[in-house]
Amino acid sequence: MPLMTRKEYMESLRKVKKRVFLGGEEVESYVDHPIISPSIHSCAMTYELSHQPEHAELLTAVSNLTGERVNRFTHLHQNTNDLVDKIKMQRLLGQKTGCCFQRCVGMDGFNAVDSVTFEMDRALGTSYHGRFRDYLTMIQKNDWVVDGAMTDPKGNRRLGPAEQEDPDLFLRIVERKSDGIVVRGAKAHQTGAVNSHEILVMPTQTMREADADYSVCFAVPADAPGLLYLYGRQSCDTRRLEEGTMDVGNAVFGGQEAVIVFDNVFVPWERVFMAGEYPFTSILVERFAGYHRQSYGGCKSGVGDVLIGATQAIARIQGLEKASHIKDKLIEMVHLNETIYSCGLACSCEGKATASGTYLIDLMLANICKLNVTRFPYEISRLAQDIAGGLMVTMPGEKDLQHPEIGAYLEKYLRSAAAYSTEERCRMLRLIENLTLGMGAVGYLTESMHGAGSPQAQRVVIGRMANLEAKEKLARKLAGAEAKG
């Protein structure tokens, strides 16, 4: 059965010899680096849960390509149950890690590329779909993590790819050979890239005829020659270099982002799934974005569960759990969080089969889901900070609490309800800080705003699919004021 264990995943990464840079230095062993390793532990949960009997059904699926049970993160959705289980799985992982677990972008990329390559072959007589399914079969058999790489640096946003002063600001084909292509450029904001075995590249936006060289989709090993990983900084990340666990908030798990530089990377033809077919970039971007906007209904509600739980706990510790206004704020947090989850389920239940047989979510509802996500986690976080109080950001550190002279003062003056220890209070406050201001806020807040497209991107799709004319006809008919002519 092609299902790696947590330990096997960790060991497999040691064989992927990436060039990773962090803090101006090349990292010798990225798997063991204290800033990077928490994100690897988060991703490893996608393996660990797949072997737990109570979660195996949710974390795995029977592949339509091999007939074997595979990790759901490598699966092509075959029905609406698959789409719903995806959301339930993501919520579970958000609850278990309290952060981004980094494997969703590749899964969403697989499902988009599968249906689009099928339709491209049918329209153009190309052979991309067979190549892609051969590639995905390999991924499933190895149970590899694949980074979905879509976002380009973009340069001057007023200009298209071919109009940029520097042509490499969008990733492009710079040479076509008999055995493959050579690409150059970069992909930004790459979630979990350093934790991946493979990189699946997709175009970042709709392309025009002049942008044919930028209309490219392919996959490369994560340690292919010419790839560089520039690890992104996160707020409070150097706390992970300190002794102790309290001040990081989430001691075990974390997320990661990186810029990937493609410095004349060679891609053999069997790994190329689009090379110049610019009319199909629009549908590929739209479907990938739809799948990824669906994903946020699961992962963000899972992390939201953790934040709500931490807020409930700190209310108890500080003696506020019976105050009516605290209860009301917690109810509002739950209401917002379940609304996010409901949207993720709704767009899944309304999914339909594409021509390739892979199921696509309802695009309108997926965009509604993501637009809610650009707002609701921020309000949940505001309410959490309201209940937590200012000590969350003014509290001395763990070493101060342990200091032989001043520790006793902090133990005395930071104590709240007698039933709870000072350390318990401080740890819960640090977790809330992590999720709303620190490292965890990258995956919970900033990613909620900008991941899978910023709010305006969802509004564009919603406006295009709103069918306001049909709604006007409904109103006119009921009002007896039907339009003439």
**Which residues are catalytically annotated?**
100, 104, 191, 257, 292, 296, 299, 447
Environment class of 447 (CB within 10 Å of its CB; exposed 0-12, middle 13-18, buried 19+): buried
Environment class of 336 (CB within 10 Å of its CB; exposed 0-12, middle 13-18, buried 19+): buried
For 137, residues 6+ apart whose C-beta sits below 8 A from its C-beta are 65, 66
For 11, residues 6+ apart whose C-beta sits below 8 A from its C-beta are none
Cα-flanking dihedrals φ and ψ of residue 97, to 5°?
-110, -25
Hunting for tokens 């640096």 — which residue is that?
153
> Cα–Cα distance between 292 and 226 in angstroms, integer?
28
Contact 187, 201 (CB under 8 A): yes
SS3 content of the chain, % helix, strand, coil (to 5): 55, 15, 30
Extended beta strands in 317-372, E state = 352-353, 359-360
* Cβ atoms < 10 Å from Cβ of 413: 8
Environment class of 45 (CB within 10 Å of its CB; exposed 0-12, middle 13-18, buried 19+): buried
DSSP annotation of 446: I
Q: Which two structure tokens, joined as six digits, stand for 366?
A: 């997926």
Q: Which two structure tokens, joined as six digits, stand for 145?
A: 């993590």
Q: Which residues pair with 270 in a beta bridge?
A: none
Q: Which residues pair with 262 in a beta bridge?
A: 185, 227
CA 351 to chain centre: 21
Q: Which of 105, 142, 139 shows the shortest CA–CA distance to 8?
A: 142
